[in-house]
Amino acid sequence: MDSYITAIGTAVPQYGFSQLQIASFMAEALQLDEPNRRKLQALYRLTRIDRRHSVLPDYGASPGEYTFFPNTPDLEPFPTVGTRMELYRKEALPLAVAAIQDLYRDGRKTVIPTHLITVSCTGMYAPGLDIDLIEALNLPTTIQRTAINFMGCYGAFNALKTADAFVRADASARVLVVCLELCTIHFQKKTDEDHLLSNALFADGAAAVLIEAQPGREKPTPSFRMRTFFCDLLPDGKNDMGWIINDHGFEMTLTSDVPTVIRQGIGKALSRLLEHSGLAIEDITYYAIHPGGRKILEVIEQQLGIEATENRFAYEVLRKFGNMSSATVLFVLKEIRNHLLTESGAGNILSCAFGPGLTLESMILEIVPTVLPVHDSSAPEAIAIPSNA
């Protein structure tokens, strides 16, 4: 039995800032002198990010006008983990609901999910986001819930694999996956290279996908059949990417060696993915690469022997939104679905993402054209998603 992604929704917070605005905030927060300010601005320009979003207005505010960080020259007392988790709990639900509302505008009628999978590495609480969503959206209390936490940028792949297993085990399963990341609440005022790079890349966002045993029947968007998954681990990069909980937030380790580690392992991993799918690189029509950063995208293009134009959907998401951790690759898939509104046809999508470990997750999706609607008396009852949830 096959499983299909039949709808994708995305959402970002209301506060959006240009990279130069964020660079200005960082320079003030880090109390940089003029030469280091210019270096920071150069770093931000090189990211190929135009704009990022945050649940915090502070990144576009002037000193003295902050609402979350202290209005002191050194931002002391710096927010604790408890303060940041309180903010996460307040902001997570409305952003997740917005992504689900967008999902149901994606050409898919609302249906009652039987399973709910939540993904996040930027905050946790219990009762958690899954239960809050059930209450906010009036979902059945009997819905089966799974939480996937703290896996970083590749978390969406584990959620999709879990959803695939649910659907393959039960054809009546309808799995709602929600990836929610508030990366910007974990800003660290450190001036080492790793933290400067992290602060230049990460943003907030949410994505939702619906996985079912049949392709969608609502025009014009196609469905994606989840064809093959493959995971590999590159232990040599274990210390180059990490995510730990410290006294003043979650701290990201992201060294400049990550692209080198990926270069050493990505070719072999994706070759095995294609082999397991019975495909060759020539059979790939589109690429949905997690835009972890400009250099990572360039390394993957070199290893696959593709042009940047073939990887344009990842660059577009990076440009408009930055790196939103686990939600980001689903934004890329949404870009491809939007493109397919005007470029119909079959084909295959190669997708991959990376995270602590150093972990390489990858999958092949098959593009399935829309199936014409037919009368189905067994179709699940529709539900209404409150617009003001």
Provide the residue range defining the domain that includes 95.
4-212
- Residues 212-228 pLDDT 10s: 999 987 666 789 999 99
* pTM for the full predicted model: 0.93
| DSSP, residue by residue, 366-383 | EEEPPPPP---TTPPPP-
Compute the distance between CA of residue 73 and CA of residue 161 in angstroms, rounded to an integer.
Answer: 46
Whether residues 167 and 315 fall in one domain: no
Residue 166's identity, in one-letter code, is: F
Q: Is residue 146 situated within a structural domain? A: yes
Whether residues 113 and 11 fall in one domain: yes
Phi-psi region of 152 (alpha: psi -120 to 50; beta: other; left: phi over 0): left
DSSP three-state, residue 175: strand
Cβ–Cβ under 8 Å, residues 88 and 204: no
* C-alpha torsion angle, residues 368, 373, 374, 376 (rounded to 10): 90
**Out of 121, 153, 179, 352, which one is annotated catalytic?**
153
Whether residues 163 and 270 fall in one domain: no
> What is the full per-residue pLDDT of the chain (389 aa) written as tens digits?
899 999 999 999 999 999 999 999 999 999 999 999 999 999 999 999 999 999 999 999 998 999 999 999 899 999 999 999 999 999 999 999 999 999 988 655 567 999 999 999 999 999 999 999 999 999 999 999 999 999 889 999 999 999 999 999 999 999 999 999 999 999 999 888 888 988 999 999 999 999 999 998 766 678 999 999 999 988 887 777 777 888 888 887 777 778 888 888 888 889 899 999 999 999 999 999 999 999 999 999 998 999 999 999 999 999 999 999 999 999 999 999 999 988 767 899 999 999 888 899 999 999 998 765 544 444 444 444 544 45
Compute the distance between CA of residue 119 and CA of residue 153 in angstroms, rounded to an integer.
Answer: 10
Whether residues 197 and 239 fall in one domain: no
Q: Is residue 386 situated within a structural domain? A: no
Whether residues 144 and 111 fall in one domain: yes
Whether residues 140 and 283 fall in one domain: no
Q: Is residue 387 situated within a structural domain? A: no
Distance from first CA to last CA of the chain, Å, rounded? 35
- H/E run at residue 259: helix 258-277
Whether residues 298 and 167 fall in one domain: no
Q: Is residue 84 situated within a structural domain? A: yes
Q: Is residue 114 situated within a structural domain? A: yes
Q: Is residue 342 situated within a structural domain? A: yes
- Residues 232-241 pLDDT 10s: 988 887 777 7
CA nearest 106: which of 374, 295, 331, 264? 331
Whether residues 258 and 355 fall in one domain: yes
CATH (domain of 330) = 3.40.47.10
For residue 29, what are the CA distances in angstroms to 22, 59, 73, 260, 276?
Answer: 10, 10, 7, 31, 49
Whether residues 194 and 239 fall in one domain: no
Q: Is residue 374 situated within a structural domain? A: no
Whether residues 100 and 245 fall in one domain: no
Whether residues 240 and 312 fall in one domain: yes
Residue entry with tokens 């979003």: 53
121 as an active site residue: the answer is no
Q: Is residue 262 situated within a structural domain? A: yes
Whether residues 153 and 16 fall in one domain: yes
Specify the number of domains making up the chain.
2
